[in-house]
Structure 1
Amino acid sequence: MKQIILSIVMTAMTQIANGQIGIDYRPQSRFTPPKNWINDPNGLVYHDGEYHLFYQYNPFGNVWGHMSWGHAVSKDLLHWEHLPVAIPEFTDSDGKTTAIFSGGAVVDKGNRSGLCPAGSKDCLIALYTGNVTAGDKQLVQYQNLAYSADKGRTWKQYDKNPILDIGSKEFRDPNAFWYEPEQKWVMATVKATEHRAAFYSSTDLKNWTLMSHFGPVGDTSKVWECPGLMQVPVHTEAGQPTGRSKWVLFISAGFPQKDYVGTQYFVGDFDGKTFTLDPAAQPKPVPSANDYAGALVDYGKDYYAAVPYNNLPASQPGPVMLGWHNNWAYGNELPTTPFKGAMSLPRQITLRQTQDGLQLVQQPIEGVRTLRGAQTNRQAIQLTSQSQTLEKATDNAYELEVELKPGTAKRVGLKLAKGTNEETILQYTDGKLQLDRRRSGNVSFSPRFPSVEEAPLRPKNGVIKLRIFVDKSVVEVFANDGERVITDLIFPTETAGGIDIFAEEGSAEFVKLTRWALKPIRQ
């Protein structure tokens, strides 16, 4: 009997460690599917009072495969209504299977393409990569079109697909927008293994003409994916609008640490045909062991495939982006069930003039403040080579605003989701903000998961500002009003964790400490 009981206990402990029972890793404040695998956000568009989120989805399992477009809608970019699969993988009469890979969506105002039935006010158009296979053999990647006349609830494939085929197996991720000065559509795609973005134009969304290429430049250690070209407002160093804007090209590619993926951006100009890098505006390369040559969007490992929203309403200042919380280095192995993968908080994007060039600035959209629950404030705390507990055990779902003066301390920071033998450390040291998840809980599911991320960061007037979201299995940190962002997944093995602050080898002051419980977006 003792052996049976011991076996049951050991099995339960293993399941808890693997996230199978006991621990709820589903984030409370960001989108997750009810079940199964998701990856890239797709078709981000606002139409007729709804924000649409399409996404790479496996309808049949909790690992990558059978890629189709899942679908959800929202009135505020936060609270989502799950809808049936929008565009499923399909197999034609000769046995070839087309998976629905990543792409974008646009609103064809007035149905000028004529794709939707006559009399339609607007037509919702999805542009996606068809990844065609026969058995286990990949045949080609090309760009397809589907359209909807009923607010995205049902979709019809264009009967003359593909709309763009160059005979390549590595040609993907169309993302289009309306270019008002020349009254045309512009599509950004990638020739993935060539590390080039290709730009096409069209007046009817059905016939496309190649205009130009960009690349290879920046990081080329991984294939290029998920391009996003958009106009971004420029702010002063103090954060005030200048009335100017620059074009920014986002490309998902590699990461400073070898064999991981991340997202880079390029600042430049677009004349309706060619995107040109502006060396005077582009942030200086971030030095690292691998001499990473691009400008990083997020210094963590779990923000990828981020793309912008199209057709935003005047009530939602833009541009706005969503990214995927995961990394291909360990994606299929995440210890979550029945779902795998989540989307980031929606981020509002600007450029800020700094001594290092135009720096991308990312902030959660203003509406995220409505998710704040019960508030806890702490008075200023001075520490000298010591630590202090703020919370012994609190639900790992909160927003924390911190202002600290590093002072003379060699290291100063916080320990989050702190348990008996685990903690996630966020610290400032040697001019860098670091997030250490090596002892963050269950890190054994993949040898690629335990890691330390770091971002260069300068205090402003001697102060570092941190806006930290701990959300079950996500830590998303916005530093100095969004000049640096670090996003990492964690998997604590205890449902409630402590919060400590510390200063080592010197003195530091925590000027502001405010915590809000996060309200769940699901009932």
Structure 2
Amino acid sequence: MRPSLLLAAALLVGSVTPIRHIDATPVAATSYRPAYHHTVPDYWMNDPQRPIYLDGQFHYYYLYNNDYPRTNHTAWRRTTTTDLVRFTDRGVAVPKDTTVNGSIWSGSAVVDTNNTAGFGRNAVVVLATQAHAANNNAQAQFLWYSTDRGATFRPYSAAPVIPNPGRVDSRDPKTIWDGDRNRWVTVLAENDRLSFYTSTNLKTWQRAGEWAMPGLGVLECPDLFKMVADDGTTKWVLGASANGKHIGQPNTYAYWTGTFTGTGFQQDGTHQWLDYGWDWYAAVTWENPANPLGSRYAIGWMNNWDYAGNTPTWANDGFNGTNSIVREIKLKRQSDGGYSLVSQPVNGLGNIVASTTSLGTVQVNGIVPLSYAGKRTS
């Protein structure tokens, strides 16, 4: 027996709150593995890597360690999905410990549509952090490439394409195509600042500038994208997993709206949080291919480094790694003239809803327990 799975709409002041019952294949009564979240098949998973869209599928990569807890060495494992609800495991794509630089850490994949790197049209190219063995294991950015549609990757070189610039923290490259300037841009996390690098071929990079944001701890897993808001205004969004714990705020995905200048970022105001819960770390967003500027998707690691190893699934089920459900995000103008990202569960979840229960109008100011208890299924 296990509780049925529930999907609750976001609670807003004065909102009507439906509860949607999710049909799911029952699992063993002793299992903690969720039925409609993406989970690692075994051992360990942490940071999501931004998915790419290719051949009618989303290819989602994540950090995977099949030696957990003996080592902390990670590879990139791949899963595919067409509806962002049901995922098919495809095994390890970017292997660990096959070069002198060892583990593969966070980064991002891109589809090189115009063959700028020379690996072939639509080659999948990954920029990821590794410990540079020839430079005292300093964090640096290395290139891997795939000519089989993102299934397997080969290293371009044992030397980094973006060497360490003399920073202790230099990691988590997020690479995008900057169509306004006809070049690639990579954002790197460097402690309390994010740096920007540019390239025309994904192999040779130049440092363009940086953006500092002290007060939110060590920034990780940066994000950069352009969106069109509901009022037609175009904005750039800069995001990162940030630590607001010391100021009574979350340790999750913070973002700023503003303007990307090509060498830096001019934010409109202070940071906002895409999710206020603690179990939404190292999150990534990616464009909706049907509406690239008006809609994006997002997924986060349902864990936190403050208690990453303390999960019941490891002892009980032999895995430690669960992701949030995928959400769709849009940019909305607020009544004060500012802009905020708003989100809701991805539409594909509606295809497995069995029934809906309305709780009527729920006034929320802080925490309000819902007057509803889930049913149990066998």
TM-score by length of 2: 0.82
Q: What is the one-letter code of the residue matched to 2:228?
A: P
Q: Report if aligned partners of 2:101, 2:130 keep a CA contact under 8 Å in 1.
A: no
Pairwise CA distance, 1:168:
3.4
Q: Please name the residue that 1:250 is paired with.
A: 239
Choose the corresponding residue for 2:210, options 208, 213, 218.
Answer: 213
Q: Which residue of 2 aligns with 1:185?
A: 184
Cα deviation per residue 1:271-327 (whole Å; 9 max; x = unaligned)? 333211113xx5xxxxxxxxxxx32221111001111225x4227863212111101
CA distance in 2, matches of 1:273, 1:113: 22
From the superposition, tell whether residues 278 and 377 of structure 1 become closer, same or farther in structure 2 (CA, over 3 Å): closer
Task: Report the equivalent of 1:432.
Answer: 366
Say if 2:317 is the partner of 1:322.
Answer: no
Aligned counterpart for 2:344 among listed residues 328, 340, 363? 363
1:66 paired to 2:64: no
Residue 8 of structure 2 corresponds to which residue in structure 1?
A: none
- Structure 2: how far apart are the matches of 1:100 and 1:199? 21
Corresponding residue to 2:33 among 26, 35, 40: 26
Structure 1 unpaired stretches of 5+: 1-20, 236-241, 283-293, 379-401, 407-427, 436-498, 503-514, 519-523
SS for the counterpart of 1:368 is helix
Residues 1:246 and 1:517: Cα distance change in structure 2 (over 3 Å): farther
Residue 107 of structure 2 is aligned with which of 97, 103, 109?
103
Q: Give the drift of 1:152.
A: 1.1
Structure 1 residues 358 and 63: CA distance shift in structure 2, 3 A: farther
Q: CA deviation at 1:138?
A: 6.7
User: 1:121 maps to which residue?
Assistant: 121
Tell me the distance in 2 between the aligned counterparts of 1:299 and 1:403.
24
Moved more, 144-153 or 318-327: 318-327
Look up the SS of the partner of 2:349 in the other structure.
helix
- 1:57-90 CA distance string (max 9 Å, x none): 1122258711111111112222111112111221
Task: Give 2:14's aligned residue.
Answer: none
The one-letter amino acid paired with 1:190 is A
**1:348 pairs with 328, 353, 376, which one?**
328
Do the aligned residues in 2 keep the contact of 1:323 with 1:343 (CA within 8 Å)?
yes
Q: How many residues align?
A: 343
Q: Any idea what the Cα deviations from partners look like across 1:8-30, whole Å, max 9, x if unmatched?
A: xxxxxxxxxxxxx9532212112
1:228 maps onto 2:223 in alignment: yes
Map 1:166-315 → 2, pairs under 5 A: 166-192=165-191, 195-217=192-214, 219-220=215-216, 222-235=217-230, 242-256=231-245, 261-279=251-269, 282=270, 294-309=271-286, 312-314=288-290
Percentage of identical aligned residues = 32
Match of 2:4 in 1: none
What is the rounded CA distance, in whole Å, between the counterparts of 1:342 and 1:184 in structure 2? Answer: 35
Q: Is the 8 A contact 1:86 1:153 kept in 2?
A: yes
Sort the Cα spacing of 1:334 and 1:230 in 2 relative to 1 into closer, same or farther, 3 A.
Answer: same
Which residue, 67, 72, 76 being the options, matches 2:83?
Answer: 76
Q: Highest CA radius of gyration, 1 or 2? A: 1
In structure 2, relative to structure 1, the CA distance for the partners of 1:91 and 1:168 (3 Å cut) is farther
Which residue type is aligned with residue 314 of structure 1?
A
Q: Which has the larger share of strand?
A: 1
Structure 1 residue identity aligned to 2:234: S
Q: 1:31 to 1:183 in 2, by over 3 A?
A: same
> For 1:181 and 1:266, how far apart are their aligned partners in 2?
20
Q: CA RMSD in A?
A: 2.8
Structure 1 residue 500 corresponds to structure 2 residue 371? yes
**SS of residue in 1 equivalent to 2:276:** coil
2: distance between equivalents of 1:254 and 1:371?
A: 35
What amino acid does structure 1 have at the position aligned with 2:76?
W
Is the 1:49–1:75 contact (alpha carbons within 8 Å) kept by the matching residues of 2? yes
* Residue equivalent to 1:335: 312
Do 1:138 and 1:169's aligned partners in 2 also have CA atoms closer than 8 Å?
A: no
- Structure 1 length as normaliser, TM-score? 0.61
Amino acid across the alignment from 1:266: W
What CA distance in whole angstroms lies between the structure 1 residues aligned with 2:322 and 2:362?
Answer: 33
Higher relative contact order (CA 8 A, sep 6+): 2
Looking at structure 1, the residues matched to 220 and 88 of structure 2 have their Cα atoms a distance apart, in angstroms, of 28
Unaligned runs of at least 5 residues, structure 2: 1-27
8 A Cα contact 2:116 2:202, kept in partner: no
Q: Distance in 1 between matches of 2:297 and 2:77?
A: 20
Counterpart CA distance in 2 for 1:516 and 1:321 is: 29
Matches within 5 A, 1:360-399: 360-373=341-354, 375-377=355-357
Task: Quote the Cα distance in structure 2 between the aligned partners of 1:323 and 1:51.
Answer: 16
Cα distance change of structure 1 residues 75 and 516 upon mapping to structure 2, 3 Å threshold: farther
Residue deviations 1:445-474 (CA, integer Å, cap 9, x gap): xxxxxxxxxxxxxxxxxxxxxxxxxxxxxx
1:304 touches 1:324 (CA, 8 Å); kept in 2? Answer: yes
1:210 alignment partner, SS class:
strand
Q: What is the one-letter code of the residue matched to 1:404?
A: T
